[in-house]
Amino acid sequence: MSNCSYTFQRLWAHGFKEHRKTTGPSDGSEDPSDAHFFVGFENGEASDLPPELCTSFLTQYQVVRNFPKNDPQNARTEFFRDVFQAASEWKEDTSLADKAQSLNFRQQSAASKVAFFFNPRGWTIYDSRARSAIDAKNFEDFYNILDGYNFIENVKKARKLPILDEKKHLYPERVIDKALFILGGTDNYKKLTGELSTEELAFGETFHDILKDTKLCNKLHDKFGLQK
């Protein structure tokens, strides 16, 4: 791994790039962005969400397979409503472990993703790649480990960066989630050598200035050899 590419600056920059991107595959087709779903969920209560929006979300975030093909669309809407009800009780400073415990659903990854788009502050998404990046055993262990890394305290510090404008649906929680997703895949080298803009690189440097002495960064440095 080339030291010039395998750095925390590039990791956070790519996490930020992935979070705010609006374009999809190289064939020119459009994928819905994170912001698209934030806006869609803001436009009504969970019980009023169009079934098509729910299915689009589950497809985009690769958890639609957790729902049977013959599952009626309203069952998916009910799932969103139930997750929303659980997440609406959360306070930002409530531990990740306690929030996770309230998501008592068979579809844990899907629930974590839906919950993030309803109540993103102090929460992060669970999936197999993010779990792998920090060597967590399961859903519960993932959030316990991140609590041990002072995740909520750290994202509150990062939230002060002007570019992370919540009016534009940009959250430090999601930047970290995207970064863990990159590291948890076998293609992380390819991802980190991808093209970045000057603005994205500047973000990565500033973001790392905030996180560089955290337990999370120490873990990622030790496991992946990321350069500080």
Domain borders along the chain are 8-224
What is the pLDDT of the chain when averaged over all its residues? Answer: 88
- If one counts every other C-beta atom within 10 angstroms of the C-beta of residue 221, the result is 14
Is residue 175's pLDDT more than 60? yes
pLDDT classification of 122: cutoffs 50, 70, 90: very high
Alpha carbon 7 to its chain centroid, in Å, reads 20
Q: What is the mean pLDDT of residues 170-188?
A: 92
* pLDDT, position 26: 37
- Residues 92 and 112: their CA atoms lie apart, in Å, by 15
Which of 4 and 130 is assigned the larger pLDDT? 130
Q: State pLDDT tens for residues 17-76.
A: 999 875 443 334 456 678 888 888 876 556 677 888 888 899 989 898 888 777 776 788
Consecutive H or E run containing 99: helix 96-102
Q: So what's the pLDDT on residue 70?
A: 75
Structure tokens at 145: 């480990």
CA distances from 18 to 35, 194, 216 (A): 12, 11, 20
Average pLDDT value for residue range 192-212: 94
| Residue 140 neighbours by CB distance under 10 Å | 14
Contacts of residues 38-44 at CB distance under 8 Å and 24 or more positions apart, as own/partner, are 38/117, 38/169, 39/169, 41/117, 41/118
The residues facing 227 across adjacent strands are 7
Of the chain, the percentage scoring pLDDT greater than 90 comes to 62
CA distance linking residue 47 with residue 81, whole number of Å: 5
Q: What is the mean pLDDT of residues 88-113?
A: 95
Reference 171, options 29, 58, 38; nearest CA is: 38
Query: Which among 193, 196, 153, 194 has a CA at the least distance from the CA of 176?
Result: 153
What value does the mean pLDDT take over residues 178-198? Answer: 87
Q: What is the pLDDT of residue 55?
A: 87
Looking at residue 4, its pLDDT comes to: 55
In percent, the amount of the chain with pLDDT more than 70 equals 89
pLDDT of residue 184: 93
What average pLDDT score do residues 173-177 get? 97
**pLDDT category of residue 78 using cuts at 50, 70 and 90:** confident
Contact of 155 with 173, CB cutoff 8 Å: yes
Query: What average pLDDT does range 171-181 have in this prediction?
Result: 96
Inform me whether the pLDDT recorded for 93 exceeds 90: yes
Query: Which amino acid would we find at residue 221?
Result: H
In one-letter notation, the amino acid at residue 38 is: F
